[in-house]
Structure 1
Amino acid sequence: MADTARFLESITSGYQPKGSSITLGTAMLNETPVEGAFVKIPLKTMNRHGLIAGATGTGKTKTLQVLAEQLSENGVPVLMMDIKGDLSGIAKAAIEQPFITERHAKIGLPYEAKAFPVELMSLSHQDGVRLRSTVSEFGPVLFSRVLGLNDTQTGVVNVIFKYCDDNNMPLLDLKDIKKVLQYITDEGKAEIEKEYGMISTSTSGAILRKIIELEQQDADLFFGELSFDIHDLMRMDDQGRGYVNIIRLTDIQDKPKLFSTFMLSLLAEIYNTMPEKGDADQPELVIFIDEAHLIFDEATKTLLDQIETIVKLIRSKGVGIFFVTQNPTDVPNGVLSQLGLKIQHALRAFTATDRKAIKLTAENYPLSDFYNTDEIITQLGTGEALVTALSEKGNPTPLAATMLRAPMSRMDILTADEISQLNASSKLVKKYSEVIDRESACEILTRKMEAALQQEAQAEQQKAEEKAAKAAPKQSTSTMGGTIEKQIIKTVTSATFIRGVFGVLNKMFGK
């Protein structure tokens, strides 16, 4: 009993914020929920980023769903990356089952089934709000980092952007920058060298191959217009609840380059667009990145550095980022060190490597008088997790093994008909459904190159005509002169011959 009282005091002192908060569940001691030991997270600390980790089947997705619901309920918009396709059910209320009723009785919280405002979004051919960005919005530095270019190649990309800016040629999609690459190493080579310096064909060829690699992952669907306005992520419904924006990514699991490109551009756009918020009472937006290893596995070092920098700085804009992955080691240490809230579901110790990973994971959590961390990580049940967060003052809270509440929305996906109905009623789907292909660098340079070829053809034709004109009179005069001369000679010769003949005949006949 003494341990229970001390444990309850520890939990209530750490997880009873004075301001607005979200309730995750109830802390457990000896695998049993302790009455009144609610684990509450201050809403104002949700921009300090976080991690949800655990083995497959331990309840990460449901925890993600609970956090999204709680944030929406408190008027905080949410952006979620749905890699597996199992988050769309947030748009429909759950059906209360006996196991849910029993679970909430243990936790000490009433259960209420609810639906939440949802927007379905897509980077690809899937139905939903189309997300796009222009090449110009990336800028030369970010675009080069996405492609993984070296310093020399990055310098050429800078020249391309500068040339297009100087000549009022928008870079909207990948075909624009490909056309510029073709132009500066062919028809426009002399023009570029005069103004910006020499560019080798091997360098431009290497850049082109990198762009084609990105294109192979359907990045041409992402680059273009109409560009997505990040303010459309921060809408409220008529009840004051934040929209849950779900990006459906089930068809790009094998396209990590596209995924990391989108994430980096989105974070950069949010950081560059949103004003400083300082120490606000609640975040402006919270982003959940499911299967976060897809960002980090294929990212270059420069790309990782860029992500780490943005994660460090973006919280001052009122934006929180939560990484969802199987193992905390999937997230680079530089990013991991920035995370305030950590929710660790069970890990499995099947191999020696697993045991080492668990020991390393346990060292990332505060020491506890009530838990042996590296042991309890392997003993947690489904829907249970170790939790540590930041208090309102910014101090780490005590470690709490927590029985998590159940989602209020459907714990299953929407049907195809339900998805169609949701998209049909969406204002954003209508806004971003049209593909705009206005005049840009590709069209401008194509006309310029065609005009140059036409001028070249005309010049060649003119030269040929002048050459023919010069040659024609000489040939004509010479021929005519020769003909006349021959005719005269022929005539004179004939006349002389005739006169001679008649002279001889006259003499013969005595005339």
Structure 2
Amino acid sequence: MDRIFVGGGGPGYAEPQVLLLNYANRHGLIAGATGTGKTVTLQILAESLSAAGVPVVLSDVKGDLSGLGEAGSPEFKLHDAFMARAETIGFAETYRYEAFPVTFWDLFGEQGHPVRTTVAEMGPLLLSRLLELTEAQEGVMNIAFRTADEQGLALLDLKDLQALLVWLGENSRDLSLRYGNVSTASIGAIQRRLLVLEGQGAAHFFGEPALELDDLFLKDATGRGRINIIAADRLMGAPRLYATFLLWLLSELFETLPEVGDPEKPKLVFFFDEAHLLFEDAPKPLVEKVEQVARLIRSKGVGVYFITQNPADVPEDILGQLGNRVQHALRAFTGRDRRELKQAAETYRDNPRFSTEDAIREVGTGEAVTSFLMRKGAPGIVERTLIRPPSSRLGPAQDRAALRAASPLGGKYDTALDRESAYEILKARAEAAAEEAAMDVEAETDGDDAPRPRAGRRYGGTHSRGGSSSAGNQASTPRKRSSRSDSVGEAFAKSFARQLGTQAGRRVVRGILGGLFKGR
């Protein structure tokens, strides 16, 4: 099998249209207005690639691609239409209903295996580009990662990075002597951007166990490539998190996979549904990175296909890299629609038998104008094509739970790990510093009945909100823990620092303990 049958036609339509497997890694585009059949085209391409032994990764924006894991049925209301279409395009003899091996993934861990990576694997450069940091802020981010490496502080999740940045701020004077200026303003700006990312659900994405890329390349016992379905219905509501995920995944593949040139078939194919939603709110670094990937990752044997409403939704530099195209109908009700329709038609190699612009406007649901790369990688002449019907179930799976239970990765990613990392190590150091400070204070006050507070000191006692209290009441009334990071050691140290104003107490407040926990 060296090609994928996409469709054909009767009178006035094309000869059988095929996607050559050795050019499937040259990327592609599936475009068209809502309801014109883009999802079915995506589905039949994913089915065919899987049958050819090519693993597939696709984002399921509407939740209706889980049906790939179940076979179609004669009881389906469109069965007769499917059979008629198969007969028309000469596909009846080989057309049959069948299910395909699927693996469900979900960044939030609700509809599939959780997808995670660590902050360390993301790296300072990728994070800086994603967060759109300035040069000064990017410098601080690099210092943070360098310090973490030197001090053995594992950066696994967001709280590790946030805690380390606070520590950098509290020790900025010492660090600046070695690395250059570490501005607390820059640290604050980074923390704000991390907070936005955290608010969109990044706490689910950063952590362990981290995704092993090899698990996206699995095949079933018969040699069919597994179709990795990433739940994106909720994810698309968090565009920065979606950008984070996409940028990381493509970058990891690009950096990890070896060069293979032009293989007989792809090693992996990505489908990004509703790509217009991705590019509308995507930060510029993401667009630049996707453009770079589109140019270079094909030599790694990876194909990337974008599914969107209009080719104009895809940045022009990326659009030019997409050699295999399926264009469903576009509507042209306004002047802008007509201009975009004309621009879409101009991106195809003309067919003298018909007007490409008219064809894009006139094709019905389940029809398209197509252009696939031919021998030697030349773009094919645009043709009107009847898309073949899918073999798997059209729409959501009826028993998604059973499909999830059959995953070969069951239990590998489902339970999150929280091993000792930067946050825990810095917290332990802080508590050790607090204990040392307490011992210093105890030694200084040994032999006295009680420490005598200084008049007019900065920390004038632990007054209640309703009024002041005596020193004795302050000593006897325990402070309420204000957050999860207010440990017993921290509260003890802060109490001594504020009540006694000793050198040891002040050292704790302005040192690692005060910085780490005051900032959380």
- Report the TM-score, using the length of structure 1 for normalisation: 0.84
The residue aligned with 2:264 is 281
Check the 8 A contact 1:28/1:402 in 2, yes or no.
Answer: no
Is 1:139 matched up with 2:126?
no
Q: CA deviation at 1:467?
A: 8.7
Name the SS of the counterpart of 2:59 in structure 1. Answer: strand
**1:164 partnered with 2:148:** yes
Displacement after TM superposition at 1:424 (Å): 1.6
Cα distance in structure 2, aligned partners of 1:190 and 1:443: 24
The runs of at least 4 aligned residues of structure 1 exceeding 6 Å deviation read 466-469
1:406 aligns with 2:406: no
For the 8 Å contact 1:130–1:429, the answer to whether it is kept is no
Match of 1:114 in 2: 98
How far residue 28 of structure 1 moved from its aligned partner, in angstroms, is 5.9
8 A Cα contact 2:10 2:88, kept in partner: no
Out of 326, 344, 368, the residue aligned to residue 361 of structure 1 is 344
Residue deviations 1:146-204, cap 9 Å, x none?
A: 11211111111000000001111111000000000111112x33442343233121111
Pairing of 1:78-93 with structure 2 (within 5 A): 78-93=56-71
- SS of match in other structure, 2:105: strand
Name 1:42's counterpart in structure 2. 20
Q: Are the counterparts in 1 of residues 72 and 393 from structure 2 also a CA contact under 8 Å?
A: yes
* Matched position secondary structure for 2:49: helix
Aligned AA for 2:404? N
- Matched residue, 2:467: none
- Work out the CA distance in 2 between the residues paired with 1:466 and 1:292: 73
In the alignment, what sits opposite 1:23?
Answer: 5
How many angstroms does 1:464 deviate by?
4.1
Structure 1 position 456, deviation (Å) = 3.1
Report the counterpart of residue 426 of structure 1 in structure 2: 407
Deviations 1:219-261 (A, max 9, x none): 1101001111111111111111111110111122211111111
> 1 CA distance for matches of 2:373 and 2:447?
85
Correspondence for 1:255 among 224, 229, 238: 238
Structure 1: which 5+ runs fail to align? Answer: 1-18, 472-511
Inter-CA distance 284–342: structure 2 relative to 1 (3 Å threshold): same
What displacement does 1:369 show?
0.3
State the partner residue of 1:509. Answer: none
- SS of 2:149's partner is helix
Does the 8 Å contact 2:208/2:416 carry over to 1? yes
The residue type equivalent to 1:250 in the other structure is D
Secondary structure at 1:253 match in 2: helix
- The equivalences for 1:269-418 within 5 A come to 269-415=252-398, 418=399
Letter in 1 for 2:87: A
Aligned pairs (5 A) from 1:184-263: 184-186=168-170, 188-263=171-246
Report the structure number with the largest CA radius of gyration.
Answer: 1
* TM-score relative to the length of structure 2: 0.83
Specify the alignment match of 2:443 in structure 1.
Answer: 462
- Which residue number corresponds to residue 113 of structure 2? 129
User: Residue 163 of structure 2 contacts residue 423 of structure 2 at CA under 8 Å; is this kept in 1?
Assistant: yes
The residue that corresponds to 2:160 in the other structure is: 176
Structure 2 CA distance for partners of 1:308 and 1:349, relative to 1, 3 Å: same
Task: Check if 1:436 corresponds to 2:417.
Answer: yes
Q: In the TM superposition, what is the alpha-carbon distance from 1:454 to its structure 2 partner?
A: 2.9
Are 1:23 and 1:38, in contact at CA under 8 Å, matched by a contact in 2? Answer: yes
Number of residue pairs the alignment of both structures matches: 446
Q: Secondary structure at the match of 1:79?
A: strand
Cα distance change, pair 192–460 in 1 and its aligned pair in 2 (3 A): farther
The equivalent of 1:501 in structure 2 is none
> In the TM superposition, what whole-angstrom CA distance separates every residue of 1:396-454 from its partner, at most 9, and x where no partner exists?
11111100000000002013xx1111112222131111211111111111112222233
1:13 paired residue number: none
> Taking structure 1 as reference, are residues 293 and 217 closer, same or farther at Cα in structure 2, changes over 3 Å only?
same
Q: Give 1:127 shift.
A: 2.8
1:44·1:392 contact (CA, 8 Å) conserved in 2? Answer: no
Q: For residues 293 and 142 of structure 1, what CA distance do their matches in structure 2 show?
A: 23
Greater CA deviation, 119-128 or 239-248? 119-128
Asked if the contact 1:260/1:294 (under 8 Å) is kept, the reply is no
Residue 36 of structure 2: SS of its match in structure 1? Answer: coil
- The one-letter code matched in structure 1 to 2:394 is M
User: SS of the counterpart of 1:427?
Assistant: coil
**Structure 1 SS opposite 2:50:** helix
CA distance in 2, matches of 1:427, 1:240: 14
Superimposed CA distance per residue, residues 93-151 of structure 1 (whole angstroms, 9 cap, x where no aligned partner): 11131111111111111221111111111111423111100010011000111112111
Identical-residue share of aligned pairs (%): 43
Query: Is the 1:28–1:401 Cα contact (8 Å) retained in structure 2?
Result: no
**1:274 Cα deviation from its structure 2 partner:** 1.1
**Does the aligned pair in 2 maintain the 1:328–1:361 contact within 8 Å?**
yes
Output the CA distance in 1 between the equivalents of 2:332 and 2:429: 64
Query: Which secondary structure does the structure 1 equivalent of 2:410 belong to?
Result: helix
